[in-house]
Amino acid sequence: MNERIVVAVDAMGGDNAPSVEVEGAVAAARRWGIPIVLVGDQSRVENEIAEHSTQALDIAIRHASEVVGMHDSASDAVRKKKDSSIRVAFNLVKTGEAHAVVSAGNSGATMAAGMFVLKRIKGIDRPAIATIVPNTKDQTLVLDVGGNVDCKPHHLAQFALMGDVYARHILGKDKPRVGLLSNGEEETKGNELTRDAHLLLKGAPFNYVGYVEGRDIYNGSADVVVCDGFVGNVVLKVSEGLAEAIGTLLRREIGNRFLSKLGYLLSKPAFNAFKKKVDYAEYGGAPLLGIEGTGMICHGGSNPRAIMNAIHMARQYVDRRVNDQLMKLIDRSEGQMGTTEAAERVDTRTEEA
């Protein structure tokens, strides 16, 4: 794709907006030449841009008079705050003035705005939020991590399909291994939701490897791990908390012993490499999969590097036509899984039970 790919950044969304968003956007524009539209309170955004050297950078501002707070209801934010920075950003994609949205704001509102303004891809009932988790070999894509707390079996099947496409076209996996998160590898394990989803996924037109356990997220046994948003969000928060705890414990132990301090100096490059691998900022944002457009959801406490990397990921998503590839796979999956009559029969049986 040779077209000019413009990324709209919700400049008012994060905990430290708009300074972090502006700094990250400037860095992305300078490093990769990405055209950017900063959406938010014009005077505040202009004041932040004035702190940076932006000559020759393709950065514009689109004024938005409202802001969606972290505690705002997602549905109310979309319906009532029509001039919010997140909704205006998605409107830019709808009108063709931008091709992707990056936001560190209210994730529920970002997801709701994406669905309301851009709609869902045909064949996908619920978009999913995906995130990249480092493992002992490289990376694992986990979805959904918070977008859908209550799911039906065919929703999980669709998440698997979207995860396969993203892993192939963004993470570079030739034949990603897609697993369904459960409490054991045996087919008798899991709950009713996972067992019915497993039945659907057996006919998947991609490399479905069956049930995987929580440890498999980190040992590299699967490239894509699928679960509902409740479980996925717990996995995400535990991962973040564990990385922070390990770092704190290591610093404490090193600080208490002279020989440990000496050893740290010798192994500092290894520690720095480890820190970089578990730092969410290196992965930028979590893609919102399943909408007719591109959206990246960032951590509310994102730093400028995270925003910069999320902008880069958003451009890659558009440039590699991930949604086009997803729609092709949906067409191939008809009659096999997910949105088929088989899925509806499984869901009906679940509801009747």
Q: What is the C-alpha to C-alpha distance for residues 300 and 297, in angstroms, rounded to an integer?
A: 9
Q: In the chain, which ranges are E strands?
A: 7-10, 36-40, 59-63, 100-103, 128-134, 139-143, 178-181, 208-212, 224-226, 286-289, 295-297
Neighbours of 274 (CB within 10 A): 16
CA-to-CA separations, 129 to 39, 64, 278, 285, 294, in angstroms, rounded: 22, 25, 19, 10, 12
CA-to-CA separations, 295 to 231, 249, 278, in angstroms, rounded: 22, 36, 23
Q: Which long-range contacts (CB under 8 A, 24 or more apart) does 146-151 make?
A: 146/107, 146/229, 146/232, 146/233, 146/236, 147/107, 147/111, 147/229, 147/288, 148/228, 148/229, 149/228, 149/229, 149/230, 150/228, 150/230, 151/126, 151/193, 151/228, 151/229
| In contact, 162 and 342? CB cutoff 8 Å | no
304-319 helix and 19-32 helix, angle to the nearest 10 degrees = 50
What's the pLDDT at 352?
Answer: 46
Q: Tokens 């993470």 map to which residue? A: 171
What's the pLDDT at 250?
Answer: 73
Strand 128-134 with 139-143, pairing: antiparallel
Q: Tokens 């400028």 map to which residue? A: 304
Q: What is the C-alpha to C-alpha distance for residues 268 and 298, in angstroms, rounded to an integer?
A: 29
What's the pLDDT at 203?
Answer: 83
What's the pLDDT at 339?
Answer: 46
The phi, psi pair for 174, rounded to 5°, reads -65, -45
Residues in the chain predicted with pLDDT less than 50, given as ranges, are: 1, 338-343, 350, 352-353
Q: What is the C-alpha to C-alpha distance for residues 226 and 232, in angstroms, rounded to an integer?
A: 8
What's the pLDDT at 353?
Answer: 42
| In contact, 312 and 27? CB cutoff 8 Å | no
The phi, psi pair for 297, rounded to 5°, reads -105, 120
What's the pLDDT at 269?
Answer: 66
Helix (H) or strand (E) holding 158: helix 153-169
What's the pLDDT at 270?
Answer: 56
**Tens-digit pLDDT profile for residues 299-316:** 888 899 999 999 999 999
What's the pLDDT at 267?
Answer: 60
For 333, residues 6+ apart whose C-beta sits below 8 A from its C-beta are: 123, 161, 204, 205, 339, 340
Which two three-digit tokens encode residue 281?
């900022």
Q: What is the C-alpha to C-alpha distance for residues 82 and 87, in angstroms, rounded to an integer?
A: 6
| In contact, 225 and 210? CB cutoff 8 Å | no
What's the pLDDT at 283?
Answer: 64
CA-to-CA separations, 151 to 23, 155, 192, 196, in angstroms, rounded: 38, 6, 11, 12
Computed on alpha carbons and rounded to an integer, the radius of gyration of the chain in Å comes to 21
Q: What is the C-alpha to C-alpha distance for residues 9 and 302, in angstroms, rounded to an integer?
A: 13
Bridge partners of residue 59, in order along the sequence = 36
| In contact, 109 and 30? CB cutoff 8 Å | no
The pTM for the full model equals 0.83
What's the pLDDT at 338?
Answer: 47
What's the pLDDT at 74?
Answer: 83
For 266, residues 6+ apart whose C-beta sits below 8 A from its C-beta are: none
DSSP category for residue 3: S
Bridge partners of residue 84, in order along the sequence = 66
What's the pLDDT at 342?
Answer: 46
